[in-house]
């Protein structure tokens, strides 16, 4: 397992190009199972989670050709609906195989997936939706087991706005008989991206990006060509890093509308944010940033995945910030690591109170999950002295070439064994 060694007090400067969205491609890859023919995926990020999903599809029998920033997938020879346990355990998003496998092959058997340690992540809404479409779903000895001779379209109301459940049900409903209406659906841009691919394959998905999605089932889907949208969370990470280090960074290949809450909050903190057509320039706060109140919410609210990077910025703000985590109840494990660097943060339940300090100091810290890892890089760039980050495997799951991208912006960051 490697470590990252980072020299602090660096002002990031320059340009960075954002990769394809991890959370889109992790659903797009399972969606390719629905097609009778080859699907070509472009602008896929070179990250471990995506590699694992590719390996899972190959293990099921699909023909998977990877070429760095893309995939060609042909599910013609899929013979298994039981993804290998050791791969599924590595990847929370493997739950997204349930809907496509069930819809195309009538069955799926998946061990309860792994992923980031950010609190309980139940699958009850996924299961509720698939049952509504007529599937028999059981959980036995840690496995989810689903069967259906033929799925039938139905109304599904989600009790919790879940990105994964919306995607799973939407994908399954494409090959169901008749009409499915998902109410209280998640509205994340990644869902729109997947719906666009499904429609290019011949599906009829309407309303993706709103809280009511209507799907008219079709008999067959064909292969298609699809370009993944830019990763708004990676973009947000670099935007926050630029503001936190009082740098000046142009973030390229972004869809600015996807980043509105981040743009608004960084402006409120005192950073300058200039929005172009497909780029955003962030210039850090003059002096110290202002404290903020942040509430994480489903899209278009402030994304939970940027809560820890934003907390890093606020550790040295000129006053007290309040951060309320409304999505994942246990997503404050990074706080103890920030405290090792001199941050003053109190957590009570779902709320963190951050008292801005004059400066952070380098320390030996551990990335407890993917986004916490990115947040620690930002804290390390802000801090005086050297920081050593352990747990880099979490970071590599979801950020493409993160050290190279930060180094190109002037960061002193290196990997060691």
Give the residue numbers annotated as catalytic, written as ranges. Answer: 116
Stretch that binds ligand UD1, among 101-109, 141-149, 157-165, 174-182 (CB under 6 A): 157-165
Q: Does 81 bind ligand UD1 (CB under 6 A)?
A: no
C-alpha triplet 48, 366, 119: angle, nearest 5°:
70
The residue within the footprint of ligand UD1, chosen from 10, 19, 23, 308 (CB under 6 A), is 23
Site for ligand UD1 in 196-235 (CB under 6 A): none
Instruction: By CB under 6 A, tell whether 165 contacts ligand UD1.
Output: yes
For the beta carbon of residue 88, count every other beta carbon within 10 angstroms.
Answer: 24
Q: What Rg value do the Cα atoms of the chain yield, rounded?
A: 21
Contact partners, residue 300, CB within 8 Å, separation at least 6: 187, 260, 261
Q: Does 26 bind ligand UD1 (CB under 6 A)?
A: yes
DSSP state of 221: E
What DSSP line would sit under 80-132, residue for residue? -SS--HHHHTT-GGGGGGHHHHHHHHSEEEEEPP----SS----HHHHHHHHH
Q: In the stretch 278-307, what mask flags binding to ligand UD1 with x, by CB under 6 A?
A: --------------------------xx--
Does 98 help bind ligand UD1 (rule: CB under 6 A)?
no
The reply to whether 160 sits near ligand UD1 by the rule CB under 6 A is yes
Of 42, 86, 124, 257, which lies in the binding site for ligand UD1, with binding defined by CB under 6 A? 124
List the structure tokens of 127: 């299961």
Q: What separation in angstroms does the CA of 78 have from each of 32, 203, 392?
A: 12, 21, 34
Rounded to a whole number of angstroms, the minimum distance from the CB of residue 124 to ligand UD1 is 5
Part in contact with ligand UD1 (CB under 6 A); list of ranges 50-58, 106-114, 122-130, 346-354 = 122-130
Contact status: 327 vs ligand UD1 (CB under 6 A): yes
Q: Does 121 bind ligand UD1 (CB under 6 A)?
A: yes
Closest residue to bound ligand UD1 by CB: 164
21 in contact with ligand UD1 (CB under 6 A) = no
Q: CA 304, CA 342: separation in Å to the nearest integer?
A: 23
Q: Which 8-state DSSP code applies to residue 120?
A: -
Dist CA 34 CA 218 (whole Å): 11
Q: Minimal distance in Å, beta carbon 305 to ligand UD1?
A: 5
How many residues form the binding site for ligand UD1 (CB under 6 A)?
Answer: 19
- Binding of ligand UD1 by 13 (CB under 6 A): no
Look-up of token digits 């990074």: 334
328 contributes a contact to ligand UD1 by CB under 6 A: yes
Instruction: Judge residue 348's burial from the number of C-beta atoms within 10 Å of its C-beta, 0-12 exposed, 13-18 middle, 19 or more buried.
Output: exposed
**Cα–Cα distance between 311 and 301 in angstroms, integer?**
16
Bridge pairing between strands 70-74 and 63-66: antiparallel
Q: Nearer to ligand UD1 by C-beta: 112 or 408? A: 112
Contact residues toward ligand UD1 (CB under 6 A) are: 23, 26, 93, 121-126, 160, 162-165, 186, 304-305, 327-328
């Amino acid at each position: 397992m490697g470590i990252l060694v980072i020299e602090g007090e660096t002002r990031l400067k320059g340009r960075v190009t954002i990769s394809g969205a991890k959370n889109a491609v992790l659903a797009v890859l399972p969606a390719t199972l629905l097609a009778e023919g080859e699907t070509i995926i472009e602008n896929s990020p070179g990250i471990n989670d995506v590699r694992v999903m590719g390996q899972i599809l190959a293990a099921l029998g699909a023909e998977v050709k990877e070429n760095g920033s893309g995939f060609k997938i042909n599910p013609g020879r899929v013979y298994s609906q039981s993804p290998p346990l050791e791969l599924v355990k590595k990847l929370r998003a493997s739950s997204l195989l349930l809907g496509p496998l069930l819809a195309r092959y009538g069955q799926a058997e998946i061990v309860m997936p792994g992923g980031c340690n950010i609190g309980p992540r139940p699958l009850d809404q996924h299961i509720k939706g698939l049952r509504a479409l007529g599937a028999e779903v059981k959980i036995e000895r840690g496995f989810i087991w689903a069967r259906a001779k033929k799925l039938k379209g139905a109304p599904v109301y989600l009790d919790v706005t879940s990105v994964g459940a919306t995607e799973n049900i939407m994908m399954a409903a494409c090959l169901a008989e008749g009409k499915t209406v998902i109410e209280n659906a998640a509205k994340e841009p990644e869902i729109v991206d997947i719906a666009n691919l499904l429609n290019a394959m011949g599906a009829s998905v309407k309303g993706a990006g709103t809280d009511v999605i209507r799907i008219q089932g079709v008999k067959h889907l064909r292969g298609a060509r699809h370009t993944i949208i830019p990763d708004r969370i990676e973009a947000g990470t670099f935007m926050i890093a630029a503001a936190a280090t009082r740098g000046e960074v142009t973030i390229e290949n972004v869809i600015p509308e996807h980043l509105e809450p981040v743009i608004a909050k960084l402006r409120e903190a005192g950073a300058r944010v200039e929005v172009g057509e497909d780029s955003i320039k962030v210039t850090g706060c003059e002096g110290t940033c202002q404290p903020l109140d942040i509430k994480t919410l489903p899209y278009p609210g402030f994304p939970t995945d940027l809560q820890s990077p934003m907390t890093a910025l606020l550790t040295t703000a000129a006053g007290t910030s309040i951060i309320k985590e409304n999505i994942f109840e246990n997503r404050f494990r990074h706080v103890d690591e920030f405290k090792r660097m001199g941050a003053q943060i109190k957590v009570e339940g779902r709320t963190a109170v951050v008292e801005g300090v004059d400066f952070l100091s380098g320390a030996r810290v551990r990335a407890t999950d993917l986004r916490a890892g990115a947040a620690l890089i930002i804290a390390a760039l802000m801090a005086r002295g050297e920081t050593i980050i352990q747990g880099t495997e979490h970071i590599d799951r979801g950020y493409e070439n993160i050290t190279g991208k930060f180094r190109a912006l002037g960061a002193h960051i290196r990997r060691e064994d």
